[in-house]
Amino acid sequence: MQDVFRLRDIFAPHEGRRRDDLVRHNRRLIHYTSAAAAVSIIRNGRVWMRNVRCMNDFMEVEHGFQLLQRSFSPPVDSETEKGLRAVGAALDAVFPGLTEDSIKWFDGWLFQLRNKTYVTCLSEHDSSENDYGRLSMWRSYTANQVGVGLVINPLPLYSLSDTFGAFSSPVYYFNDNDLRDLFLEIANNISTNKDFLQSKGREEIKGYFCMLLRAVAMCTKHPGFLEEKEWRIMHTEKLDEKGTLELDVECIAGIPQPVYKIPLQDHAPSGMTGISIPDLLEHVLIGPTQFPIPVWDAIVIELEKAGVEDAESKVSYSNIPLRT
């Protein structure tokens, strides 16, 4: 396990910092959604993962792809490319030809990553937001319907893996310069830990570098979205094991589409515990609405049916004044 953390810190220091920061400041994660979707999640014990092509704005997942692909197609000579070249040189000094093999892997999976990836989105939730939630998120994700925020304990997400069917990652708000600086840091990490990386073997190191490319492509957004502080749970068909995920078809806004559903129940084979509704869900925050009391009553009833103790104390509504 110690080696796993060391490899993470070499190839994904940015992810380690975000995860450590979440724990250090005792932040929670919150899933902003509609009240109807929240009732469905609590009642059925399932969270839906939708295709990235069906997201509110597909360009949310194109930013990272564009930054990387410009770097793979010289002579663009972007800032990201400068950093990526440094990583490639450091890797090839450990295992010659590994960089080219990894980029070929990425190119070979590009269609699946872009078109067959399913996600569910969460946001970091600070204690200062307990009474209000985040106004920008209410506006973005609950337009024309009652919004609800499901506040959860983030620790079980650390155990997500391919054997469970999905993995989690923070979202990064990088421009060309930011990504260059990250790659330069990773290049230095690789050079500093050359002997250790050689001891792990070519295929394992290739796997970590490929995961870095995948995470940068799938979890990099424009810096203008920084206030969202987003995290994603993701699954890519054929690349990831199906694990415990359930594939179904749902009609959403009149559009039939495949949906992967995450069962919120412990799964011993993958080491996932603490993800049942009573264990995972800490609080439900109802967004600005004309109908706070009926929505509060409905959520409390569903929580009690799901086995949540003292459900009434775990539901509140945002006191942001409603604009009509």
Report the SS3 class of residue 70: helix
Contact 275, 158 (CB under 8 A): no
Q: pLDDT truncated to tens, each residue of the chain (324 aa)?
A: 688 889 999 999 999 899 889 888 889 999 999 999 999 999 999 999 999 888 765 566 677 777 777 766 656 678 888 999 999 999 999 999 999 999 999 999 999 999 999 999 999 999 899 999 998 888 876 667 899 999 999 988 877 776 788 888 999 999 889 999 999 999 999 999 999 999 999 999 999 999 999 999 989 988 888 888 999 999 999 999 998 999 999 998 899 999 999 999 887 777 788 899 999 999 999 999 889 999 999 999 999 999 999 999 999 999 887 665
Query: Dihedrals φ, ψ of 148, to 5°?
Result: -140, 140
Long-range contacts of 300-307 (CB under 8 A, 24+ apart): 302/39, 302/42, 302/43, 303/42, 303/277, 305/42, 305/43, 306/42, 306/43, 306/45, 306/277, 306/278, 307/276, 307/277, 307/278
State residue 76's pLDDT score: 63
Helices 202-218 + 62-72 axis angle, to 10: 130
Chain-centre distance for alpha carbon 183: 20
pLDDT tens-digit series, residues 261-275: 999 988 777 778 889
Sign of the CA dihedral running 263, 266, 270, 272: positive
CB-based contacts of 46: which residues, under 8 Å, 6+ apart? 40, 246, 261, 262, 263, 264
- Per-residue pLDDT, 282: 96
Cα atoms in the Cβ-side hemisphere of radius 13 Å centred on 288: 18
Cα–Cα distance for residue pair 105/162, rounded to 1 Å: 18
Q: Which long-range contacts (CB under 8 A, 24 or more apart) does 65-74 make?
A: 65/110, 65/113, 65/114, 65/217, 67/174, 67/176, 67/179, 67/216, 67/220, 68/106, 68/213, 68/216, 68/217, 72/103, 72/106, 72/107
Cβ atoms of 31 and 122 within 8 Å: the answer is yes
- 281 forms beta bridges with 152
* Dist CA 31 CA 19 (whole Å): 17
Q: What is the pLDDT of residues 272-298, one digit of tens each?
A: 888 999 999 999 999 998 899 999 999
Q: What is the pLDDT of residue 320?
A: 84
Q: Distances from the Cα of 102 to the Cαs of 32, 37, 213, 225, 275, in angstroms?
A: 36, 39, 9, 29, 34
Interior angle at CA 163, CA 203 and CA 257, nearest 5: 110
